[in-house]
Amino acid sequence: MKRFCLLLTALCVFTAGLATAVAAAETIVIKIAGMKPEGEPETLGMYKFGEILGKLSGGKYDVKVFPNSQLGKENAYIANTRRGTIQMCATGTQTSALFPAMAMLETPMLFGNLDHARRAMNGTTFELINQGFPEKSGLRTLNAFPLGFRHFYSKKPLKSMDDLKGLKMRVPNIPLYVNFARECGISGQPMPFAEVPAALDQGVIDGGDSPLADITALKMYEITPNITLSGHILVIHSLYVNDEFYRGLPEQDRKWFDQAAKESADHVWDLMADLEQKAVKSITDGGGKISEPSPEFRAAMAEAGKRSWKLFYDTVPNAKEILESAASYK
């Protein structure tokens, strides 16, 4: 009897161990790379995606998040996602180098507010921008979520377009940003964001533009205390997945990925207004001065934005349809 009990115990231990091993073998690890640090909207969205996908799949998928360029700079991890070395990544208009229409996610002076943008990104505007993208890039766009509107930060107050003319302002080295700055009369100075504080200290630039989250993260208001809430470009990022990997998933699993992507994007959209209010408080508490453009100033920027759209008419076959679609969601 004793021997039987020992055998039974051993069998139970073996069976439990086998079940654990099988479960572990069935868990699929998904690596997702991003560029933003912890606590920023992009990173919050990646974590939320992983959390939701894990629940929907009953633990079948284990999403490992690598923020803050841990898996390399944007171009590197985008290339690795296209190859399938990693399954997913988060990025913005860098993908326009593969497919020009993706730049239209951040069309200057296109969206009047977050609600307008959210409706367009949940509707046909997003679909029109992505038409043909998987075939050209090997990537599939799962969602779109905001990182915030770009606003001017400067050493002197900006009260009209005349105040922008000739100003040496940092711009990202992306054609649509450089083009919009030129249309505003700005002397655009392309440089990485990390170099901005030193450039401001040395007088190389007079200011720049960024979402409030970036302005507060580097305390730009201590060097350039004038923050003008111009909101001229909404920075939109997305979660991308290797298209071959996605198409190879069982139908139910694809539905889980789609649902997790939608719910994680909704999470970031819901957070954004609160995050921007907190950033405004941080800036004013830190001595920064926040101002709203006059109606005349905003109207002049809108005209500059429309002039910059020529870039899209020259490079995106369905640009007119995309712009009309976005306008319909006002």
Query: Does residue 209 have a pLDDT over 60?
Result: yes
Do 67 and 34 touch, CB atoms closer than 8 A?
A: yes
- pLDDT cut 90: percent of the chain above it: 83
The pLDDT of residue 231: 96
Average pLDDT over residues 232-258: 98
53 is in which domain, residue-wise?
Answer: 12-327
Residue at 7 is within a domain: no
Instruction: Tell me the pTM.
Output: 0.89
What mean pLDDT do residues 75-94 have? 96
Q: Is residue 57 part of a domain?
A: yes
**pLDDT confidence bin for 76, thresholds 50/70/90:** very high
**146 in a structural domain:** yes
Q: Is the pLDDT of residue 123 over 60?
A: yes
Q: Is residue 2 part of a domain?
A: no
Is the residue at 5 inside a domain? Answer: no
CATH number of the domain residue 292 falls in: 3.40.190.170
Q: Does residue 104 belong to any structural domain of this protein?
A: yes
> What is residue 193's predicted lDDT score, i.e. its pLDDT?
81
Question: E strand or H helix at 28, and its extent?
Answer: strand 28-33
CA distance 266 to 269: 5
Query: In whole angstroms, what is the distance from residue 199 CA to residue 122 CA?
Result: 39
Q: How confident is the model at residue 151 (pLDDT cuts 50, 70, 90)?
A: very high
The number of distinct structural domains making up the chain is 1
Q: Is residue 87 part of a domain?
A: yes
CA–CA dist 80, 128 (Å, integer): 26
Q: Which amino acid is at 208?
A: G
Q: What is the pLDDT of residues 154-184, one digit of tens each?
A: 999 999 999 999 999 999 888 889 999 999 9
Residue 6 lies in a domain: no
Convert the pLDDT of each residue in 272-317 to its tens digit.
989 899 999 999 999 999 999 999 999 999 999 999 999 999 999 9
Residue 22 has pLDDT above 60, yes or no: no
